[in-house]
Structure 1
Amino acid sequence: MHARARPSRPAAVEGVQLEAAHLHRLLAVSFRRSYPSRHVIFQPGEKATTLYYVQSGRLALYGTHDDGQELVLDYPGPGSFIGQVGMFMESHTRQSSLQTRGPAVLFEITYKRLKALLQDEMADIAVPLLFAFGRDTAMRLRSTSRSAMDLAFLEVEARVENALQALAAGRDSVAHSRG
């Protein structure tokens, strides 16, 4: 059974914008891959070598406890970067799993190739790209911190209310005429 997480948001940075042209340049040097529903893209223990960008589809980023219980950490969707932390850590291994929730299209680029490009032919867009990666990471950290505080300090009813409000505010939410 999956626990719920707050939906992630697309990459954008106040003051430093990741413009469509910047993203297009990154995607032009990345590999586009289509995945079927329920496909596991990576798992804990695997060496982190790749940055992902979600073009379409919904995914679940989750951790698994030794007893087999799973906790959903995020539901990345279109516009989300995944795996950016590994770009800044040498010999990093994945700590979570990423699985598609339906058909999905992702762009992938190895950290090694991306680092080389950012130091050379894409140096002019390195700052906006790195800010976008950092902002996505900061938003996930904020969401995780909020969830940990909710678990520690709120009663069950308040936690459920917060989770429902977060889901209602997410990008998959739909307004209904009867509320």
Structure 2
Amino acid sequence: MPPAPDGPHTPHSTGLPALDAPSAHVEALAERGMQRHYRRGTLIIQEGERGDTLYIVRSGRLRAFVADASGKELTLGLYGPGEYVGEMSLDGGPRSASVETCEPTVCAVVARDVLLTYIAEQPGFALELMARLIRRARLATDNARSVALIDVYGRLTRLLDQLATAPDAQGQRTVTERLTHQQIASHLACSREMVSRLLKDLETGGYLATQERRLVLLKPLPARW
């Protein structure tokens, strides 16, 4: 599940609700959906297809991505419990991205008519939905800027900084997601070999280590490499 590029949301500056706390609306809406269980690696949304359902994650994790004809992928975001995907196609248009499960996942699948009925009953949820769409649009813009204007190392350090925990007593930060080199490459729009080389260089330089298949940032990463 990806962090917002703008830092903590400030409701007073935009009039939009904060998104950090679990949403009571999302929980209530999930109760109206159909609970479905998916195995790891299940493609639940196909880019380009027509769809009118919203998927709310109850447990597990989803990955949204786009792919070209050769199979090269770009990861758009990771989504965990309390988050949802599929809202972009509720206007009747085609799906803008594919979504697959990263692990065994349970989702509440909410049909468009159920969502519209809930919004009519609880109009405040429309503002919350709009705020999330705005945040995702900003994130998409930020990611596009990153791919176009920042080199691969810069994109790597940006991703690690976003995913890492706060520093512990020793100043070390842990990337809680167990990401493979290929998964990181999909986030950065580069080759797996490039990711492997950069991570190896950082490990040799004493900036990074791997513990229980998780990346640990031993000290602040250099601005340039």
- Could you say which residue in structure 1 is the equivalent of 2:2? 7
Alignment of 1:111 with 2:112, yes or no, is: yes
Paired residues of 1:57 and 1:105 also in contact (CA < 8 A):
yes
Paired with 2:10 and 2:88, the residues of 1 have a C-alpha distance of 17
Paired residues of 1:8 and 1:139 also in contact (CA < 8 A):
no
- Could you say which residue in structure 1 is the equivalent of 2:154? 158
Instruction: Work out which of the residue numbers 132, 137, 144 in structure 2 matches 1:136.
Output: 132
Instruction: Work out which of the residue numbers 16, 25, 28 in structure 1 matches 2:28.
Output: 25
Deviation at 1:134, TM superposition (A): 2.0
**Alignment deviations for residues 51-91 of structure 1 (CA, whole Å, 9 cap, x no partner):** 1111111111011112221111111111112111222x2x3
**Greater RCO, 1 or 2 (C-alpha within 8 Å, sep 6+):** 1
With normalisation by structure 2, the TM-score equals 0.63
Which residue type is aligned with residue 100 of structure 2? Q
- Structure 1 23/157 Cα, relative in aligned 2: closer, same or farther at 3 Å? closer
Aligned residues: CA RMSD:
2.9
Which residue type is aligned with residue 113 of structure 1? V
Paired residues of 2:31 and 2:108 also in contact (CA < 8 A):
no
For structure 2, the residue ranges without an aligned partner over 5 or more in a row are 166-173, 178-213, 220-225
With normalisation by structure 1, the TM-score equals 0.77
Instruction: Work out which of the residue numbers 62, 76, 86 in structure 1 matches 2:89.
Output: 86
Paired with 1:63 and 1:156, the residues of 2 have a C-alpha distance of 19
**Alignment deviations for residues 121-161 of structure 1 (CA, whole Å, 9 cap, x no partner):** xx1x222x222322222222222211211222223322221
Paired residues of 2:3 and 2:162 also in contact (CA < 8 A):
no
- Structure 1 31/44 Cα, relative in aligned 2: closer, same or farther at 3 Å? same
Paired with 2:18 and 2:152, the residues of 1 have a C-alpha distance of 39
Deviation at 1:24, TM superposition (A): 3.6
Deviation at 1:8, TM superposition (A): 4.6
Paired with 2:81 and 2:32, the residues of 1 have a C-alpha distance of 18
Paired residues of 1:8 and 1:80 also in contact (CA < 8 A):
no
Paired with 1:177 and 1:168, the residues of 2 have a C-alpha distance of 8
Deviation at 1:98, TM superposition (A): 0.7
- Structure 1 65/97 Cα, relative in aligned 2: closer, same or farther at 3 Å? same
For structure 1, the residue ranges without an aligned partner over 5 or more in a row are 1-5
Paired with 2:134 and 2:74, the residues of 1 have a C-alpha distance of 19
- Structure 1 73/166 Cα, relative in aligned 2: closer, same or farther at 3 Å? same
- Could you say which residue in structure 2 is the equivalent of 1:75? 78
Which residue type is aligned with residue 159 of structure 2? A
- Could you say which residue in structure 2 is the equivalent of 1:126? 123
Paired with 2:126 and 2:163, the residues of 1 have a C-alpha distance of 28
SS of the aligned residue for 2:35 comes to: strand
Percent identity over the alignment is 25
Paired with 2:85 and 2:10, the residues of 1 have a C-alpha distance of 16
